Structure 1
């Protein structure tokens, strides 16, 4: 069987759901973990979503408590910002990218800055329980 024949056969027998999983939509949440400055700039420029940027360090205990909460909430399609926009998550390791932390005046970890329309609009500092993070998201 040739490669082309095999691909056609696989396409015919593949369920519709499997093909739809590869389509992108503006509602799909995206995580940019350990972002580089280039990835950071591209991600926060998204005007269709609210982008949460988590400035963290591997040695930071409160960061380790907050990161799973942020990942869980931004991964859930039911959780949206107060404006109804979907959420993306960008994480920035301040040890690897200190210039980004300096640019946004990050002096304590974790610091989470929310971006809308490419601009920072709100932030919080320190680890918070899930309910408090949900309240923060509802203000965006």
Structure 2
């Protein structure tokens, strides 16, 4: 009985979320993205940077310890701030990383109005990321 109730709750919650998404699609502003978006290539990054006011781009590598430590911070920032968060795997996108001057990971670039405005290299705490985002929001 408890499992059935839990399943009903999950279904209702999903219905409410879907209804909320449908309502925001009518607005002229782009829908807020609450999870990091994986980026594969320059055109995809350009599209995201121009569609959203403030975009935090996390250049990372799977083998990078500090990148792994930064991941939950980036996910929290995506969920709780107005910034859209994009993730770029530097191993899969070497040319894109080079184009933005990424020489080490993690490197975070903040885009505002489609252009890069801030660069943060190395492990960052949540408060620092929130401050940088808020200064450009």
- TM-score interval, smaller chain: 0.7 to 0.9
What's the CA shift string for 1:59-98, capped at 9, x where partnerless?
011111112111111212xx3xxxxxx2101100000000
Is the CA contact (8 Å cut-off) linking 2:58 and 2:85 kept in structure 1? Answer: yes
Aligned partner (choices 42, 45, 63) of residue 50 of structure 2 = 45
Mapped to 1, the partners of 2:132 and 2:36 lie a distance apart of 20
Partner of 2:65: 61
Aligned length: 118
Say yes or no: does 1:29 pair with 2:33: yes
Mapped to 1, the partners of 2:17 and 2:56 lie a distance apart of 29
Superposed, which structure 2 residues align to 1:1-140 within 5 Å?
Answer: 17=16, 19-23=18-22, 24=25, 26=30, 28-37=32-41, 38-46=43-51, 48-76=52-80, 79=81, 86-140=82-136
Structure 1 residue 17: Cα displacement? 3.3
What do you get for the CA RMSD once the two structures are aligned?
2.3
- SS of structure 2 residue aligned to 1:139: helix
Is the CA contact (8 Å cut-off) linking 2:39 and 2:87 kept in structure 1? Answer: yes
Is the CA contact (8 Å cut-off) linking 2:40 and 2:93 kept in structure 1? Answer: yes
Is the CA contact (8 Å cut-off) linking 1:63 and 1:127 kept in structure 2? Answer: yes
Length-normalised TM-score, structure 1: 0.73
Structure 1 residue 32: Cα displacement? 4.9
Q: Which has the higher helix share?
A: 2
Q: Which runs of 5+ in 1 are unaligned?
A: 1-13, 80-85
